Amino acid sequence: MSDPAMTTASKTGFRFEVWAPAILLLAALMIYVIIAVSTGQTQYLTASNLISILGRSIALGITAIGQTFAILVASIDLSVASLISATAVLASVIMNGDPAMILPAILAALALGGLVGLLNGLVIAKLEVNPLIATLGMSLIIQGCLSAVVSNFAGSVPVEFQLFAYGEIGGLPASLIFLLVLAIAAWVVLRFTKFGSDIYSVGGNKDAARFAGIQTDRVVVYAHIICSVLAAIAGLYLASRLRSGAPWIGSDGVYDLESIAVVVIGGTVLAGGRGGIWGTMAGMMIFSLIDSIFNVAGVDAFAKQVMRGVIIVAAVAFYAVRSKRMVA
Amino acid sequence: MKKILRLFVAAGVAFSVNTLAQAQNFDDPAEFAKQQEQLTATPMGPEGMPWVQYLEDNMVDTSSMAVEGKHTICFSNAGVNNPWRVVGYTNMTEEVAATPSIGEFIHVDAEGSDDKQIADIDDLLAGGKCDLLIVSPNTTAALTPAVEKACAQLPVVVFDRGVNTDCPVTFVHPVGGYGFGIQGAEFIVDNVEEGANVLMLRILPGVDVLETRYSAGRKILENAGLNIVGAEFTDGDNAKTKSIVEDYLQRGSIDAVWMDAGATAVAAVEAFEDGGYDIPVFVGEDQQDFLRKWQDLKLTAIAPTYPNYQWRTAIIAAERVLNGEAVPGPEWVLPQPAITQETLDSMVNPAMPPLHYAMCGCEDMANYPAAWGGQ
Amino acid sequence: MTDQPLSSAEAPKKRALPHINPVYFLLAALIAAILLQNPNFAEPTGYMNFLKRAAPLAILAAGQVYVLVSGGFDLSVGSLITLVVVGSSMLTNNDPSATLWVIPVMLCIGLAVGLINGLVVCFLKVPSLIATLGMMITLTGVSFMWSGGSPRGYLPDTFRFFGRVNIMDIPVIRMLPVALIVLIVVGFALYWLMHRTNFGRMVHAIGDNPQAARLGGVPVNRVRILAFVVSSLSAVVTGILLGGFAGVSTDVGNGYELQAITAAVLGGAQLLGGRGSVPAAIAGALSLQAIFTLLNFLGLPQPVRQVVQGLILIIAVALAMYRRKRTGR
């Protein structure tokens, strides 16, 4: 599946793929500034406002980092949205307002995430079920189990845990710093570890990776565990932000499809093997900026949707149109 | 097989009841009694204008909140994702247009997401332009912290669903879910024999305003000795509603249909119509398509309402606060009339779209009916 | 709908080892279970209502098979259904005679949507998952913008004829839903196009191995675009049936895209292409509807239905993969 034209081009000078997310992000930022200035709403251009824009999509950002791992190994995860709801509810029910239960609740949520990721990975790698179907099925199962038990906000989160979403460190929101740390960690894993390079190999060409002695199944399973654990963390963040968990918060936020869109807008290729974390972060910021642009420009809710759909396709086309290969 | 599955479900339910002992209570006898009383109480305020009437005689002094000059009102909307909210939002924008003292009306739409609505409120506060914030919360619990944060900076008016804090200047809402449930169920009890079969159709579990409707309705039907053949969730989906009713008709007769919201009432009526059955006693809502069906087929029916005019009231309340006039509060309870055979003819309007809500209180506004899609 | 033509077309020589798609056994078992639960199902009103209800999904799944076999996905069908229902109610404007021109207009809209999906995938190289996801979001917005969020007209009875009316007083079966006639006609047309024409063979070829197909002289882009068009047109027909069955609402199509893919996959269609059959997808859709009906008769709550649907989906695909590995096909 490797494309010789692409790799040789990438070794000489300007690497379009690397800079494209930054170009898109810059464009979005410029549009935001232009609209704010031209409508005379310069109060939206302060540093604090820009930080609050970044803070809009923390949950989406965390989920998208995980989704990047899944997509890099040429898989995909549609179960993140219902997993987010499940972990948020689980954590909030275990905590039930008691600060002493914060740690057990976090561990339980992460364990649930790990378990779901393991199951996803095994079904995809060992049973060779198409990842879309496997994770769609998993999503239905999680959502069904969850709605059988709770139908509304359940449990509550103690004030101490709300610091995760509402706390500040040195004037910056704690959650934003957390997201940054997470992104750096993910970048280090992908860029500097054997596991990271295995992910790119498996996503790029599974058979070649297997011949090269990589245990491809194991890499796929680990990628899914990372994806689901990060979704669990996103669930914890939302429980902290909403002070409680409800069985619809994941699906209401459309975190499954939006996280995939963010990753793809960030230049990671759905076919796997190419892309990275900083693209995903750029994708997340583009999404937040689009939201804010709509709010500042006062775009009506229905027109927003039409434009959002077109923007997603256009952004992906921006990368893909130069590609010579055929897409699925 | 059936037994085993039942057992599993029962175990699941038992588990959920144990773990969620502190979950919200949707069967509050005191609230039930209060709403039952408010349904028949005579409202205060000008006759014939229910959107400025109120049922609880308590005013909030707002003289310290008055703002000079043109007002900027900001509105954080949960979404316009169903026809009720669309009609309501039209009411609101028309009310704004009719109020010259409002200089600017900033509207942000959270598209049905709690997380997004919290961010929207943050954005509005950071923008610093708002003189007053109106919030229609997506969910009660999740939006409470954001509303508290807003209260610290400016006056807040909440309507439709509430929040778990009394910091807003006032909370505009009609009588409530118990009231809705009571009106429909009492009508059924008055119009069928004892032991009659009633099918209860619900939209979704977990929504506060719908759960209270159901709990009140069920209580009255059971106390009257009626036989509830089933309570099913329709997801507000016409096709599913029709299928469910068809399935029940295959298994036995139905003497009355109670619904917790009328959006799919016509589909339910059609299931009887298409199968060649007599149409039983029906509880719908104030959407034009149901009212027309009721009139055309001469049904025995009632339409409790969740009055759409509360969207007007939110703007009126905001303006009064910014003018420093007293408003009913901390809860502004609006009257919640049900449409009956006597009032039906005055509510049906063939010129209006099928999903228009008759209780919009908008007939006297400047751009009626065009702005609401009428002809 | 028997599998006779399918198996004879696929492997005429393998008669000795019968190769019947397992979805037909699944469907038979489910119907037997329903009959045990509710003997009334054997009455015409029972099974005819069932078929009438399943018809929209069956047609949608049959159309989705084209895109799946060609190696793509079509997530935009659900929102296209909504657009058809909302748009028709806006255009007919309570005028019964308008149906005559509104249906062709809707088919043209479907044609345009399919063309755009196909062109974006083939020439802008956007993966179909993203291209049709974008289309899904856009179309939802379009139907809201068109109607201002609340449709302005009723669907006249002439429009609702296809999805709602049962032809009564027919000997033996007593009643015949018009929707079932539509299913048979459209289903047969889609079957014929997929399994009896050169176009169908080319769809299989590009899904199986696009490079080889291109080298073999298949106009890959044209075939892919046509596959998207077929899927969109089937969504329009589905929308007409659903609007007819249940009337106007703004969320009719919600979730239908995943149900259609599920039905096709139950019928043995392979994601990422090369394999799939129209009759089996229709059987998959009937099975899915039968599962819902059965769980309904058992009185199980919605959450359990979701879990069962998820499990069946995973198990069906896992079994298919297992069979394929074992038989080496």
pLDDT in tens, A118-136: 999 999 999 999 999 999 9
pTM given for the model: 0.89
| pLDDT attached to residue C6 | 39
CB of C153 within 8 A of CB of C89?
Answer: yes
| pLDDT attached to residue A260 | 94
CB contact under 8 A, B206 and A248: yes
Residue of C41, C248, C299 lying closest to B354 (CB–CB): C248
How far does C152 lie from chain B, in Å, by closest CA? 4
What is the Rg, in whole angstroms, of the alpha carbon atoms belonging to chain A?
A: 20
| pLDDT attached to residue A213 | 92
User: ipTM greater than 0.85, yes or no?
Assistant: yes
Phi-psi region of A171 (alpha: psi -120 to 50; beta: other; left: phi over 0): left
Q: Is residue C90 part of a domain?
A: yes
**Closest CA relative to residue B23, chosen from B255, B211, B304:** B211
Q: Which residues of chain A have a CB within 8 Å of the CB of C133?
A: 257, 260-261, 309, 312
**Closest CA relative to residue C286, chosen from C138, C158, C180, C154:** C180
Give the model confidence (pLDDT) of C145-181 as tens digits.
998 878 878 899 999 999 999 898 888 888 899 999 9
Q: Which residues of chain B have a CB within 8 Å of the CB of C299?
A: 2, 230
**Same structural domain for residues B249 and B196?**
yes
**Which chains neighbour B (Cβ–Cβ under 8 Å, 3 or more pairs)?**
A, C
Any idea of the CA torsion for C322, C324, C328, C329, to the nearest 10 degrees?
A: 180
**Same structural domain for residues B92 and B135?**
yes
| pLDDT attached to residue B70 | 94
Interface check for B9 against chain C (CB to CB < 8 A): the answer is: yes
Whether residue A7 is predicted with pLDDT greater than 80 in this model: the reply is no
**Same structural domain for residues B210 and B71?**
no
| pLDDT attached to residue C295 | 84
Whether residue C223 is predicted with pLDDT greater than 60 in this model: the reply is yes
**Which chains neighbour A (Cβ–Cβ under 8 Å, 3 or more pairs)?**
B, C
Confidence of residue C7 (pLDDT cuts 50, 70, 90): very low
**Same structural domain for residues B103 and B204?**
no
- Provide the token pair at B240: 């599913």
CA–CA gap between residue B74 and residue B125 (Å, rounded): 10
Structural domain of B195: 177-302
| pLDDT attached to residue A5 | 40
Say how many domains are in chain C. Answer: 1
Q: Is residue C188 part of a domain?
A: yes
- Provide the token pair at C137: 């979001």
**Same structural domain for residues B283 and B323?**
no
CB contact under 8 A, B239 and C245: yes
How far does C222 lie from chain B, in Å, by closest CA? 36
- The chain-wide mean pLDDT, for chain A, equals 89
Residue of B79, B127, B208 lying closest to A43 (CB–CB): B127
How far does C222 lie from chain A, in Å, by closest CA? 14
CA–CA gap between residue A323 and residue C61 (Å, rounded): 31
How far does B289 lie from chain C, in Å, by closest CA? 8
List chain B pLDDT tens, one digit each, 375 residues: 444 444 444 444 434 434 443 345 788 889 999 999 999 999 999 988 999 999 999 999 999 999 999 999 999 999 988 889 999 999 999 999 999 999 999 999 998 888 889 989 988 998 888 999 999 999 888 899 899 999 999 999 999 988 989 999 999 999 999 999 999 999 999 999 999 999 999 988 777 788 899 999 999 999 999 999 999 988 888 999 998 998 889 888 999 999 999 989 999 999 999 988 999 999 999 999 999 999 999 999 999 999 999 999 999 999 999 999 999 989 999 999 999 999 999 999 988 998 999 999 999 999 998 999 887
Q: Is residue C298 part of a domain?
A: no
Report the residue of C306, C312, C321 to disrupt the A interface, i.e. the one with the largest count of A CBs within 10 Å. C306
Structural domain of A278: 57-320
| pLDDT attached to residue B250 | 84
| pLDDT attached to residue C18 | 56
Query: Picking from A277-281, B86-90, C4-8, C220-224, which range would have the lowest pLDDT averaged per residue?
Result: C4-8
Confidence of residue A14 (pLDDT cuts 50, 70, 90): low
- Provide the token pair at A190: 């992908």
Interface check for B243 against chain C (CB to CB < 8 A): the answer is: yes
Confidence of residue A231 (pLDDT cuts 50, 70, 90): very high
Q: Is residue C3 part of a domain?
A: no
Give the model confidence (pLDDT) of A182-193 as tens digits.
999 999 999 999
Interface check for A146 against chain C (CB to CB < 8 A): the answer is: yes
Strand partners, B287: B357
The mean per-residue pLDDT over the stretch A194-216 comes to: 94
| Biggest alpha carbon–alpha carbon distance for chain A | 61
Interface of A with B in 225-244 (CB under 8 A): 238, 241-244
| pLDDT attached to residue A13 | 54
Of the segments A79-93, A291-305, C244-258, which one has the largest average pLDDT value? A79-93
The domain that contains B152 carries what CATH number?
A: 3.40.50.2300
Residue of A130, A302, A313 lying closest to C272 (CB–CB): A130
| pLDDT attached to residue C328 | 61
Whether residue A264 is predicted with pLDDT greater than 70 in this model: the reply is yes
Strand partners, B339: B303
Q: Is residue C2 part of a domain?
A: no
| pLDDT attached to residue A239 | 94
Strand partners, B106: B74
CA–CA gap between residue A203 and residue C290 (Å, rounded): 39
Q: Is residue B199 part of a domain?
A: yes
Give the model confidence (pLDDT) of C171-212 as tens digits.
888 889 999 999 999 999 999 999 999 999 999 999 988 889
Interface check for C161 against chain B (CB to CB < 8 A): the answer is: no
Identify the residue whose tokens are 């003497």: B255
Percent pLDDT > 90 in chain A is 62
CA–CA gap between residue C168 and residue A160 (Å, rounded): 68
The domain that contains A276 carries what CATH number?
A: 1.10.3470
**Same structural domain for residues B312 and B251?**
no
What DSSP letter does each residue of B48-96 carry, written as one string? T-GGG-BSS--EE--GGG---SSEEEEEEES---SHHHHHHHHHHHHHH
Interface of A with C in 223-282 (CB under 8 A): 257, 260-261, 264, 270-271
Confidence of residue C329 (pLDDT cuts 50, 70, 90): low
| pLDDT attached to residue B337 | 95
Q: Is residue B341 part of a domain?
A: no
Within 10 angstroms of residue A127's Cβ, the number of other Cβ atoms is 15
Angle separating helix axes C77-92 and C256-266, nearest 10 degrees:
130
Interface of B with C in 55-114 (CB under 8 A): 80, 82-83, 85-87, 89
Interface check for C249 against chain B (CB to CB < 8 A): the answer is: yes
The mean per-residue pLDDT over the stretch A36-53 comes to: 82
Q: Is residue B218 part of a domain?
A: yes
Q: Is residue A275 part of a domain?
A: yes
| pLDDT attached to residue A3 | 43
The mean per-residue pLDDT over the stretch A226-244 comes to: 95
**Closest CA relative to residue B183, chosen from B305, B326, B23, B47:** B305
Say how many domains are in chain B. Answer: 2
Q: Which residues of chain A have a CB within 8 Å of the CB of C144?
A: 301-302, 305
**Same structural domain for residues B253 and B216?**
yes
Q: Is residue B125 part of a domain?
A: yes
Q: Is residue C228 part of a domain?
A: yes
Q: Is residue A34 part of a domain?
A: no
| pLDDT attached to residue C321 | 83
Q: Is residue B104 part of a domain?
A: yes
Residue of B9, B12, B80 lying closest to A301 (CB–CB): B80
Q: Is residue B1 part of a domain?
A: no
CB of A272 within 8 A of CB of A71?
Answer: yes
Q: What 8-state DSSP symbol labels residue B303?
A: B
The mean per-residue pLDDT over the stretch C79-86 comes to: 96
Say how many domains are in chain A. Answer: 1
CB of C252 within 8 A of CB of C82?
Answer: yes
**Same structural domain for residues B141 and B235?**
no
Q: Is residue C97 part of a domain?
A: yes
Percent pLDDT > 70 in chain C is 94
Q: Is residue A4 part of a domain?
A: no
Q: Is residue C182 part of a domain?
A: yes
**Same structural domain for residues B293 and B191?**
yes
The mean per-residue pLDDT over the stretch C241-258 comes to: 90
How far does C42 lie from chain A, in Å, by closest CA? 31
Distances from the Cα of B93 to the Cαs of B52, B86, B102, B105, B355, in angstroms? 17, 11, 11, 9, 19
Whether residue C303 is predicted with pLDDT greater than 90 in this model: the reply is no
| pLDDT attached to residue C57 | 97
The mean per-residue pLDDT over the stretch A88-110 comes to: 95
| pLDDT attached to residue C236 | 98
Structural domain of C185: 59-284
Helix (H, G, I), strand (E, B) or coil at B199: strand
| pLDDT attached to residue B373 | 86
| pLDDT attached to residue C272 | 83
